[in-house]
Structure formats: C-alpha cells, structure tokens
Amino acid sequence: MGMYELRRKIDAIDDEIVGLFSERLRVCADVAKHKAQHGIPVHDPDREAHKLDSVIGKTDEDLRGYMQELYHRIFQLSREYQEKLTVQPVDRDARSRGKFGLLGERLGHSFSPMIHGMLAGYEYELYEKQPEEVGDFLKNSDFDGLNVTMPYKKTVLQLCATLSDAATRTGSVNTVIRGKDGSLHGDNTDYFGFLHLLGRLGARVEGRKALVLGSGGAAATVRAVLGDLGAGEIVTISRSGADNYGNIGRHRDAQVVVNATPVGMYPRNGETPVDLELFGSCEAVFDLVSNPVKTELILQAEDRGIPCAGGLMMLVAQAARAYELFTSEGLPDEVVHKLAESVGQKVRNIALIGMPGCGKSTVGRCLAELMRREFHDTDEIVDSGAGMSIERIFIEHGEAAFRDMEEAALREVSKKCGCVIATGGGVVTREANRRLLRQNSVIVFLDRPPDGLPVEGRPLSALRGAQNLYSERAPLYTEWGEHRVAVCGDPMKTAQAVLDAVCGAQVRN
C-alpha cells in the first residue's frame, strides 16, 4: 500500500474518531445533567479505573502505554466538559444582556472576575476608584450592575435611589443595579453569602455570644445575620469604640468569632486581628477574607480543632446571588456548591514536597503543563537570588543561612494562587514553612524509595546518606502531605496521578 493510500486510510480513521468523540461528549452532557439532578460528583475515580482496566485489556500489549495516556486525557476532557455544564447552567446569550463589574479601591487580588466568568459570559470588569471618584463614576458610567467592595459599601448606599430590605437593615450595599430610567437600586448579597457560609459549616449561633471584629459594612451585615439567627450577645470590636482591641480580654467568653476586617488579606498574609488563645470557649470562627484561602485566624482555629470557614465560600455565594439580580435567573443551591468546589480547585496551589532528587521539579513542570498553571521552584528562586548554587550556599554560608533564604522565598511564592510549587527537600525542617504552605496550597508528598535517589549536588544527601535522610524526614513528609503519590519512571504519569489525587479528593469533599 502506497503513502497516498495510507494517508487516506488515516484520514478516514480520524473522521471516525471525530464523530465518535463528539458523540461521547454528547452522552457526557446527559451524564452531567443526571449527576446535577441527583447531587452526584462529576469525578468518579472508581469508574475511571474500572474503565481503564477494561480498555487496556482489549489493547495489544505493545500499544497499552499509548492507550493509557490517551484515556487519561479523554477522562480529563470529559470531566472538564461535565463540570462546565454543571457549573454554568446559564443563558449563553448573557453577554449581550449587560455590562457588569466590581467597584473598589484596590482590586488586584480579587477573585470576582473569575467567579462571574464561570457563572456567565457577560462582561465583567474591575473598577478601581479613589473615594473622590466614586460619585461621578456611579452617575456617569454605562454599567448595568456592580458589585461593591471595601471601602465603598456604605458610600454607595447614600447614592442609591432605592434600597432592598437587606441593604436598609445593614446600612451597607455591595450590589448595585441600574434601572431602565438610570436610577440606582442598592442591595446586599453579602447577607445571603454569610448566611450560606454558616449553613455550609453547620454552625449553631442561637444563644451564643458572638464577637464581630470590625465596624464597616461587612460587619454590619454579619451582625444582621447573627441577630436574625437568634445569636445572644453580639459585640462589635473596633479600633476606637467602647469595645476595642485594647480591652477585648473582657470578652474572652465569646463562642463565635467573626473577622469582618481586611486584616490578614493579601498581600499582608500572616497578620491576624486577634489571637484565638484568648477565647477558651470559642466554638466557631469565620473570616470574611477570601485571599488567602486560609488566613492566620483560620489556621489558628484549625490548630485548635475549632470549626471554621474562610471567606471564599461566602464570596462565591454572594456572587451567585448577584448573578441572579443581574440576570433575573435563579441558581439552585447545588450549582452554588459545585461552583465553590470549582473555584477552590482553581485558586489553591498544589505544593510538592519530598526528598531531594525525588523529581519534584520535573513532575511540577509536567503538572503545570497539564493544568495550564504557573510553575515556581523555591530552589531555583534561592539560586537566582543568591547568585550561586545551593551546594555553594551550604559550603560558604551553612545550612541555617540556606534555610532562611528558603523560608523567605516560600513566604512570597506561597501568597500566590492557582500555581504549582516545587519545594526543597528540607522545607519540612521548619514548621513555619508548613504554615506558609497551608494558607493557599494543597500539599502533596511525592514518595520515591531512597535507594533510587541521586546524591550528586545535594549536600545533605551526600553527607548523611539518602536512606538516613529519608528515615528522618519521611514522618514529616507524611504528616505535612494531604496526599501521598508514589513517583514512577514517567514524570507525566506521576503528574497525572497527583492531579487525580488532588482534584478527585476536592470533588468528593
């Protein structure tokens, strides 16, 4: 058979593949509808594993590796297609219906454009304005609807012609709709968002003493929700009021603590308005900050085993309610939950830990390629900053100096969202590094047997021996890692295993 005939045969096969794969996706659409109706997660790892075994069993032995890679990709594309359908049950012509956005003073950290982009296809922009610009912007801009964030939630209220009940009661507006006559209607979807957050955590606030940190628009909303749910004493802590941070100790019996201030928000990660050590009776902690995913206040709550929730779920829920106001379309609760899961997957980093030479950098780059994410390697950051290799740093400055450089590099890169991060093998020797990673990352332990680890260019492995170093660090890797993935000979397959472990667990949760 000549080349022409062979190519015609391949073309015919490709035509058949296109038709069959298109049909597969159409069936996936029906599967997605069924799962959405019955609250079933999109990702079914057991089904995929069974299907892969079946496909491989029907494949010639010399082609099984190729077939395995092909079906891993087919599964991934099918999941993405189903998730898109279940997270975006909206009018595809929404883009033509209006112009929307977010008004605030500093918005570089905002997740709102991503969330609204996942909800619908309408235009959604960021409007950073100084206080003196807000009035003119609201009067003369051509938006159809806005979300409003700090510090303008109370400012905007004064400029609206009409207000919803929630906006009136809270004295705060975070959503503005322009009427056909050009007048502005103010609403408060934060009320719905915080109510949703409490419900998702299953927090009981009735009769509880609640401490609300902050006196701005967000705090007013929190107080309204807590009051409506029957909370007992609700105390507002401000910088200069009768109840302030100087005398907060007299409220150490608080059972619910809510941070409604920007303290701890990116880029000032690690700060906290209070130390939870003071509140021995605390039963629940909420932080309205959504970036980082886990603020220092939330990390403290986790350390103490106190039920807690950050602001990301609230942000998604209030955005979904704003979408309903923008489009006059309802969203079922399960859609909001799926959206929150999807947003959580997108904004959290995946941080790889493990022994020196186990393949974190190589696997990390493959994972970043699979997920279309930025990749950061803390060893490379230290190398670049110091102008010398890590081995040279150890020789000339010692291990302690290197650990300081490593922690400094991690302190900055851990503030990022939606990235893949490869860490140095000894990152687990400092507990402070774990805290840095926990704020925005899912931590994955890449496990590779020590007898196969290289030691060249790795000073501690060469000095102590890879087996001894592994015995020392393996308990720390295991304790830090939320997932443990065995390293295989193919970095891309290991990266796929990491992706399956992380995304599968997040979908199930």
Phi-psi map region of 369: left, alpha, beta (phi>0 left; psi -120 to 50 alpha):
alpha
Burial class (CB in 10 A: 0-12, 13-18, 19+), 27: exposed
Find the helix packing angle between 64-87 and 3-38, rounded to 10°: 40
Helices then strands (H, E): number in the chain?
20, 16
Residue written as token pair 């997108």: 346
274, 297 contact by CB (below 8 A): yes
CA distance 347 to 37: 26
Q: DSSP string covering 82-137, please? A: HHHHHH--S-TTGGGG-EEEEEES--TT--HHHHHHHH--SEEEEEE--GGGHHHH
**Helix, strand or coil, per DSSP, at residue 349:** strand
CA 241, chain centre distance (Å): 35
Residue 153 appears among annotated catalytic residues: yes
Host H or E run for residue 145? strand 145-148
Q: DSSP string covering 190-248, please? A: HHHHHHHHHHHHT---BT--EEEE--SHHHHHHHHHHHHTTBS-EEEEBSSSSSBTTSG
Q: State the pairing for strand pair 145-148/175-178.
A: antiparallel
**Which is the catalytic residue, given 153, 338, 360, 415?**
153
314, β-bridge pairs: none
Q: DSSP string covering 60-96, please? A: -GGGHHHHHHHHHHHHHHHHHHHHHHHH--S-TTGGG
Question: Mind telling me the catalytic residues?
Answer: 153
